[in-house]
């Protein structure tokens, strides 16, 4: 029997090699001892011969509370590492100041409603799959890659900008990944709700001619302005503005200031995604409006609005979280680097297929089985980045073989689209290998 995949990944995320990756961290973070203890408790409840659906037993009492705590830890970590915040300075002075994750209760309230609403979503499509445990597994899969080989890929993971490097600590990268992975599907109910209304209208029409059933998911007035602001933020970049001397700089050296500039191509692509109610960009609107961490983002494209180096760094952290989430359902955005958060989300999201039962499988035993053997992201001796995904599909009926081949073909066409050639892809050194066994 195949060993339980959830248990395998949990063990890799809580062993000593994984915890040593963040041993120098001196703040709360998404793999600190509190989280390790919870993950270990969950791992101990799952045996190696448990089936792929066994983890659903622990959704309400373990995974749901853990979802909130992981995001809370991530926000606290990011705030602690923000040099504009008072926490590090207070620590140096021997004072006790602890960062808070404001808005987390409101986000958890939305999450609970989302989890409850998912029961209805199973009726929206015969192939609808779980999206509650799914996001935890996506986080688990990516975290395993980050701690693998003593954090080798974690150290390569970065914000790719042409003119300068945005420096991030290991715990900041882990916290960013945690935010991305656990919130990337929050907009899914809003995208799928229309299908429920359409199904209801079709059913009611059997005994009421032309039933008046509708739901308007469009945005109006101030909502449009708010959404446009968020889309503009995630569609912008920083450029060097001017150098100035500051009183804080004891050596009298000049400090580089930056200005924000809108990237029209990103802006239009994300606007198109919003027009289509794609759940990725809807998820960004949800977390931006509910979490104070995002509400306090500094952003303006006015000519005289200057950002100092830490302002610029914090802008990119928030922008990258939002952009990675929005991009995972926007195939107009092409992937340039294998060392980006956007790429990591795509790979972990697509390969999280074990134990995602759909409604047609609730009553009929399926002869098709899926096993994720391994995911590997590494740099070879030629300095080329290679991603290898090894999967095994077990099918016994001819129709299922045809269905599987069509599904893999559709997936490959998506990869052809998002890894297509475009501006700056000439510098890309990435190899994507998918090994399928049937």
Residue-wise pLDDT for 61-86, tens only, equals 999 999 999 999 999 999 999 999 99
- Helix (H) or strand (E) run with residue 256 in it: strand 254-262
Among 149, 132, 145, CA closest to 174 = 145
Residue-wise pLDDT for 210-251, tens only, equals 665 555 555 566 678 889 999 999 999 999 888 887 766 556
Residue-wise pLDDT for 406-424, tens only, equals 878 888 888 888 888 877 7
| HSE, side-chain direction, 13 A CA sphere, residue 68 | 17
| pTM metric for this prediction | 0.87
Distance CA(116)–CA(111), nearest Å, equals 9
Buried b (16+ CB within 10 A) or exposed e, 22-33: beebebbbbbbe
Residue-wise pLDDT for 299-341, tens only, equals 988 878 999 999 999 999 999 999 999 999 999 988 888 889 9
Distance CA(330)–CA(270), nearest Å, equals 7
pLDDT at 61: 94
Pairing of strands 236-245, 254-262: antiparallel
Alpha helices in 46-169 (DSSP H): 64-80, 87-92, 104-121, 133-147, 152-156
Residue-wise pLDDT for 33-70, tens only, equals 999 999 999 999 999 999 888 998 999 999 999 999 99
Residues above pLDDT 90, as percent of the chain:
48
Q: How many CB atoms lie within 10 A of CB 155?
A: 14
Cβ pair 315, 13 in contact under 8 A = no
Alpha helices in 184-308 (DSSP H): 188-204, 222-234, 264-275, 279-290, 292-295
Q: Is the pLDDT of residue 361 over 80?
A: no
**Non-local CB neighbours of 278 within 8 Å, separated by 6+ positions:** 187, 191, 326, 329, 330
pLDDT tier for residue 437 given thresholds of 50, 70 and 90? very low
Pairing of strands 430-437, 385-394: parallel
Among 228, 300, 313, CA closest to 259 = 300
Among 364, 384, 279, CA closest to 325 = 279
Pairing of strands 385-394, 369-379: antiparallel
Q: CA–CA distance from 70 to each of 67, 164, 351 (Å)?
A: 5, 31, 22
| HSE, side-chain direction, 13 A CA sphere, residue 23 | 9
Q: Which two tokens stand for residue 52?
A: 């792929």
Q: Is the pLDDT of residue 369 over 50?
A: yes
- Burial class from Cβ neighbours inside 10 Å (0-12, 13-18, 19+) for residue 381 reads exposed
pLDDT at 242: 87
Cα angle vertex 142, ends 421, 411, to 5°?
Answer: 45
Mean pLDDT of 142-152: 93
């Amino acid at each position: 029997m195949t060993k339980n995949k959830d248990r395998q990944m949990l063990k890799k995320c809580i062993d000593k090699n994984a915890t040593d990756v963040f041993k120098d961290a001196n703040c709360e973070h998404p793999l600190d001892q509190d989280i390790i203890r919870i993950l270990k408790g969950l791992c101990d409840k799952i045996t190696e011969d448990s089936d792929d659906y066994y983890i659903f037993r622990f959704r309400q009492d373990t995974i749901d509370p853990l979802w909130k705590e992981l995001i809370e830890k991530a926000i606290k970590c990011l705030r602690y590492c923000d040099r504009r915040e008072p926490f590090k300075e207070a620590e140096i002075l021997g004072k006790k100041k602890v960062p808070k994750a404001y808005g987390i209760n409101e986000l958890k309230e939305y999450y609970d409603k989302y989890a409850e609403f998912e029961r209805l979503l199973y009726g929206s499509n015969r192939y609808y799959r779980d999206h509650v445990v799914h996001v935890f597994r996506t986080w688990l899969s990516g975290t395993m890659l980050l701690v693998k080989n003593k954090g080798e890929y974690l150290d390569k993971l970065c914000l790719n900008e042409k003119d300068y490097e945005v420096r991030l600590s290991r715990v900041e990268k882990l916290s960013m990944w945690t935010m991305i992975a656990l919130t990337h599907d929050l907009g899914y109910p809003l995208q799928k709700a229309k299908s429920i209304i359409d199904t209801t209208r079709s059913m009611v029409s059997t005994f009421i001619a032309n039933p008046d059933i509708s739901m308007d998911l469009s945005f109006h007035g101030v909502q449009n302005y708010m959404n446009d602001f968020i889309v503009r933020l995630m569609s912008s970049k920083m450029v060097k503005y001017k150098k100035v001397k500051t009183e804080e700089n004891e050596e009298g050296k000049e400090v580089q200031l930056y200005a924000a500039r809108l990237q029209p191509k990103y802006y239009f692509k994300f606007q198109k995604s919003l027009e289509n109610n794609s759940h990725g960009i809807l998820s960004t609107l949800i977390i931006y409006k509910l979490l104070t961490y995002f509400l306090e983002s500094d952003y303006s494209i006015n000519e005289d609005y200057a950002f100092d180096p830490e302002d610029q760094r914090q802008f990119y952290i928030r922008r990258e979280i939002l952009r990675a989430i929005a991009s995972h359902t926007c195939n107009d955005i092409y992937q340039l680097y294998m060392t980006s958060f956007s790429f990591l989300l795509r790979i972990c999201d697509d390969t999280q297929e074990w134990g995602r039962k759909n409604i047609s499988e609730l009553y009929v035993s399926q002869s098709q089985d899926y096993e994720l053997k391994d995911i590997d992201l590494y740099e070879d001796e030629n300095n080329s980045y290679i991603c290898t995904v090894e999967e095994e599909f077990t099918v016994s009926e001819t129709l299922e073989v045809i269905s599987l081949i069509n599904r893999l073909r559709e997936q490959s066409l998506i990869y052809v689209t998002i890894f297509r050639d475009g501006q700056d892809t000439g510098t890309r050194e990435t190899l994507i290998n998918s090994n399928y066994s049937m």
